[in-house]
């Protein structure tokens, strides 16, 4: 991988990090392994109480990597701090416990280059169970995505209300769009990305999708998304904001008031007789997880093996 030689990078990779010591290195390395090198990486240590900053320091030898340390303010605050200092044409969002496949920047940037009127390129993500190191057969967005992606911003906005947040957080956004719509909203922790996509679409900007999953979402205990009550509360607040504050037609305002904030609550675990639990668990793993990760995932991350 060659060093960054351009005076201004094409991509500013925005990485909010809070107590991310176990995963931040792998996230950064997945960016450094990209097939394009015209990027900067801005890691924001959002008041971590572990050694997140110390784990980032070795990477600072690469001039494309920067570290900002701030008091804890939440993911929206951390992303905003990075975007405020970003110099790239595109802002690419990467959570500190997620990973990118090597062609992420190439394909996302190419998709936006081919659609100059679009503001956001998004993709799907495979799901990594961090405890077992297994990759799920279904992607993050499988339950959420509409049958077809609307090309008209107004129709896209309606689809976001009707289907929920089907835009994976690891998206790439034209940096100039933030100058128009503003930065991530504080106070809706866990759904700040959903509110941002709704706001961008409401302002008339288009979205484009890269069909093949380009990221890996790491699922582990203690994540915000593992708390359905918190997710529902923040989603409800986003819908209230749309209904009461957005400049949208009355029918969309009414839709925001009446759609459920959380459409796919976690399923209750199936009760299985004790004697059947070992074989049932084995069958469940086969049904829901690959015995071996898909080829492109194995090649990018050879340490992801079934145990």
Residue 176 contacts residue 157 (beta carbons within 8 Å):
no
Q: Give me 5's structure tokens.
A: 């030689």
What CA–CA distance (Å, rounded) separates 1 from 28? 14
pLDDT of residue 143: 78
Report the distance separating Cα 237 and Cα 218, nearest Å. Answer: 26
pLDDT of residue 22: 94
Contact, 119 vs 173, CB < 8 A?
yes
**pLDDT number for residue 146:** 72
End-to-end CA distance of the chain: 32
Residue 68 carries which DSSP code?
Answer: E
Tens of each residue's pLDDT in the chain, 307 residues: 444 445 789 999 999 999 999 999 999 999 999 999 999 999 999 999 999 999 999 999 999 999 999 999 999 999 999 999 999 999 999 999 999 999 999 999 999 999 999 999 999 999 988 777 788 888 888 877 776 778 899 999 999 999 899 999 999 999 999 999 999 999 999 999 999 999 999 999 999 999 999 999 998 765 545 566 777 889 999 999 999 999 999 999 999 998 875 554 333 333 434 443 444 344 445 567 666 777 777 777 777 654 3
- Which residue, 184, 127, 122, 189, is CA-closest to 159? 122
Supply angle C-alpha 112, 116, 118, rounded to 5: 70
pLDDT at 299: 74
Which residue is associated with the tokens 């595109």? Answer: 90
Q: Six-digit token pair at 82?
A: 């990075």
3-state DSSP call for residue 189? coil
pLDDT at position 277, please?
Answer: 41
**Alpha-carbon torsion (236, 129, 209, 92), positive or negative:** positive
Kind plus residue range of the DSSP H or E element containing 61? none
Q: Please, which residues bridge with residue 41 across strands?
A: 13, 65
- Give the pLDDT confidence score for residue 7 in this predicted structure: 77
Q: Which pLDDT value is given to residue 3?
A: 42
pLDDT of residue 307: 37
Q: Whose CA is closest to 45, among 58, 36, 54, 37?
A: 54
* Alpha-carbon gap, residue 134 to 99, rounded angstroms: 14
Per the CB < 8 A criterion, the answer to whether 126 and 98 are in contact is: no
The CATH number fitting domain 11-290, selected from 3.40.50.720, 3.90.550.10, 2.60.40.10, 3.40.190.10: 3.90.550.10
Q: Which residues pair with 11 in a beta bridge?
A: 39, 90
For residue 192, list its beta bridge partners: none
């Amino acid at each position: 991988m060659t060093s960054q030689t351009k005076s201004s990078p094409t991509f500013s990779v925005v990485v909010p990090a809070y107590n991310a010591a176990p995963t931040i290195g792998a996230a950064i390395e997945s960016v450094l392994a990209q097939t394009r090198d015209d990027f900067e990486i801005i890691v924001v240590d959002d008041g971590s109480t572990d050694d997140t900053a110390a784990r980032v320091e070795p990477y600072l030898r690469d001039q494309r990597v920067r570290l900002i340390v701030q008091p804890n303010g939440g993911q929206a605050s951390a992303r905003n701090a990075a975007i405020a200092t970003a110099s790239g044409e595109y802002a690419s969002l990467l959570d500190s416990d997620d990973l990118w496949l090597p062609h992420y920047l190439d394909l996302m940037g190419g998709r936006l280059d081919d659609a100059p009127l679009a503001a956001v390129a998004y993709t799907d993500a495979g799901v990594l169970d961090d405890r077992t190191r297994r990759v799920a057969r279904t992607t993050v967005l499988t339950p959420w995505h509409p049958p077809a992606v609307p090309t008209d911003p107004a129709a896209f906005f309606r689809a976001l209300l009707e289907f929920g947040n089907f835009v994976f957080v690891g998206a790439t956004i034209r940096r100039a769009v933030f100058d128009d719509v503003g930065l991530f909203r504080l106070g809706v922790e866990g759904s700040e990305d959903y509110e941002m996509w709704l706001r961008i679409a409401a302002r008339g900007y288009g979205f484009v999708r890269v069909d093949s999953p380009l990221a890996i979402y790491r699922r582990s205990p203690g994540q915000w998304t593992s708390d359905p009550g918190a997710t529902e509360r923040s989603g409800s607040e986003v819908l209230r904001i749309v209904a009461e504050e957005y400049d949208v037609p009355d029918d969309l305002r009414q839709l925001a008031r009446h759609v459920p904030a959380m459409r796919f609550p976690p399923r209750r675990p199936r009760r299985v007789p004790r004697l059947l639990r070992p074989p049932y668990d084995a069958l469940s793993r086969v049904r829901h997880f690959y015995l071996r990760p898909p080829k492109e995932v194995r090649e990018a991350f050879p340490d992801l093996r079934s145990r």
